[in-house]
Chain A
């Protein structure tokens, strides 16, 4: 192999060859970091909620006239809506709830195990039916709520909200006025509060001093939230109304029938003579919207990666082509002195291989540096060795491919060129 002559030739032309090295290095750094960001976004997007997302439909029914101030009429409307939803063909399960997965938010509160020093923040939602059946998750232990539980607890909460409760100096309600509510929690929350268990029957308290008893544990639950409480949830039994009146429902359809069920629901909930707004959304659409910005970013990053690889391949090809043209006489001389076509081809490919490899070595360091910078100052995903290796392989192939054409042109140089004055 002609390493010696190649390296000596390079040293005489530092800038031109340095350009190739720098270009490859920069490209590797940028491409790997873009890919890391794309992979991170994809990971977030494909992270399972644990729910049967494909079969879930969210329904919001809101009164638009002033009747929404009338509790009796609202209860009546809700009851009729639940009946209509249950009777819709293709519906497996319905719950009246304020839980809407994949919106990046919801409602949260703070509780702690009875007597524990610090509060734990958790998502909290109300439901009037089985959470596990509607979300399609497992009920690990205990029981769930029925319509009768919701009826009873709603009545108790209503009475509680209408009375003035005595509080001590710390703002806690006295033992006589204390409220005890049954809750179904996610396993992640149960383990956060009580370790490996047992969980059933354990008591939690909130800042008012009210108590919550775990009657059921579901697994798994993942709903991205503004604070890192994505996996913690507490469901209690109640009827749910939106602030503006009307009610919200989560419906689980038979497999593959979500879209048809959604259309049927819109029809069934529209009742003549009522000023109502019915909004029916597939949870997969809600999720797509939630991840919209991330998808946009991924697409843009992807196009930059493709463009950059193309530009770099083109640039390396151009530079090699230039260096072939410039050395035509030299090649002719070598050919005249007996070098074969293969030897010339090998010379240029080897030269390119050395440059690319040097660029990749430098680029690996640059990629890690850029990654550290991005992660610490803005946003970024940690770079995995696999991504760097993949990027190196791709650029190696691209670099070699780009050099192939000019190298073949060089190999075809006729020995006679050496005698000509170019």
Chain B
């Protein structure tokens, strides 16, 4: 029966291709705009570590001093001091953990000019914790953390720059005054926001990753935010490391609720212990924030993109209203035909289903065209973004977006077609037959 309905619906569409084309175009336009803006929103809001983001936590301690809480909305400093970050890393409660920060380092390739590159100092766990994909090699192991051993992981771009994109695992690279050995090259890592460091706006992952423990021997300073209170107790770099300056991000992986609770108690105990030495003058306040919540707190999704998505859905609604008018005109002008079908025994339900199917067929065609238009639009947005914010790979259409486009098209078709189909099936057979 459904096959017959479908055939009738298709036939009816072919009879007036101009009208059908108009409806398809209408749906396509609405779906294109809705998909385009949803894809932009999706690029920021999507889970960057699918499947395990719930067990990744950002660590904060209120190490602030003075008479007012830290100006961050949470009242907590968003980063940790060096003293606290190194002390916390000694805990064995987390399955994986890494203190980290961003720096700018000079790289001296064998051939060519030295170059300044962005670098992230982190622990071996970083790569497994955030499911970093590798093109060549892998991250370093925990043994290399302790040394620290001079190993480095390169971004795809840095590998292109220094080794022409070849498999560079095992090759040497001079960073500042030291020789490093390449351990791995990061593969395509589709992140639109640097979710593991939301303290600064920069969107792209760093060029180099090296073991955190090089901070001291190489005296590496952060190129991210430093936020402090109280002066340094001692002069020079050691004084900076010992100070109350907060400049480190810290992530832990706690696979079970139980471990999360245990780690939270560990943090509280640590702070209470530090209070005995006169540090942490403010009331006890520690916080473990799951990744997605932290993204939310830091407004990782630009609020404008959410507003734009809402607007684009309303645009789709206006398109659907338009279609409702068009479909009503079409179905009602078909009164005589419907009358004959009904007189020949078609049930109301049959007529209704056939008309709804007709709408959904048109909607699917419109959805497919709209998806294509959205891809085109996204290409345009990406080139604009490349010119304006220097990144042309921020927005992509994926399977989820294709699903969204199909769902949006079907929903719009249903909204637009339901009432006209209802009207069509209510046509009394007798009235139209008489007129003929």
Contact = CB atoms under 8 A, between A and B. Distances in A.
* A and B assemble together: yes
Contact of A27 (B37, B307, B318, B385): B318
Which of A275, A325, A379 has the most chain B CB atoms inside 10 A of its CB? A379
A266 interface: no
B68 A33 contact: no
B51 interface: no
B66 A110 contact: yes
A301 B308 contact: yes
Interface residues of B, number: 63
B392 to A, nearest CB: 12
Contacts of A297: 302, 304-305, 308
A65 B114 contact: yes
Interface string A266-307: 000000000101000000000011001111110111001001
Nearest to B423: A15
Contacts of B71: 121, 227
Interface string B374-403: 000000010011001110000000000000
Contacts of A171: 65, 230
B229 A110 contact: yes
A208 interface: yes
A322 B311 CA distance: 28
A405 to B, nearest CB: 16
Contact of A119 (B66, B225, B304, B332): B66
B29 to A, nearest CB: 7
B322 A23 contact: yes
Contacts, number: 159
B307 A308 contact: no
| Chain A interface, DSSP helix/strand/loop, else mixed | helix
Interface stretch (A86-94, A310-318, A343-351, A384-392): A310-318
Nearest to A299: B384
A333 to B, nearest CB: 17
Contact of B231 (A117, A118, A208, A243): A208
A29 B314 contact: yes
Given A119-B66, A293-B302, A15 B328 contact: yes
Contacts of B177: 66
B229 A207 contact: yes
A244 interface: yes
Contact of B312 (A296, A304, A326): A304
B53 interface: no
Interface string A24-65: 001101100110010000000000000000000000001011
B321 interface: yes
B306 A23 contact: no
A119 B324 contact: no
Contact of B329 (A104, A110, A227, A322): A322
Contacts of A227: 71
Given A296-B384, A379-B306, A208 B318 contact: no
19 contacts: A26-B318, A27-B318, A30-B315, A37-B307, A64-B106, A64-B108, A64-B113, A66-B177, A105-B200, A110-B66, A119-B67, A208-B231, A243-B221, A292-B389, A294-B304, A296-B385, A304-B308, A307-B33, A314-B322
Given A293-B302, A297-B308, 11 more contacts: A34-B311, A62-B116, A105-B200, A163-B235, A164-B234, A207-B229, A296-B381, A296-B388, A296-B389, A315-B322, A378-B307
Interface of B: 26, 29, 33, 37, 65-68, 71, 104-106, 108, 113-116, 176-177, 200-201, 221-223, 225, 229-236, 302-308, 310-312, 314-315, 317-319, 321-322, 324-326, 328-329, 332, 381, 384-385, 388-390, 419
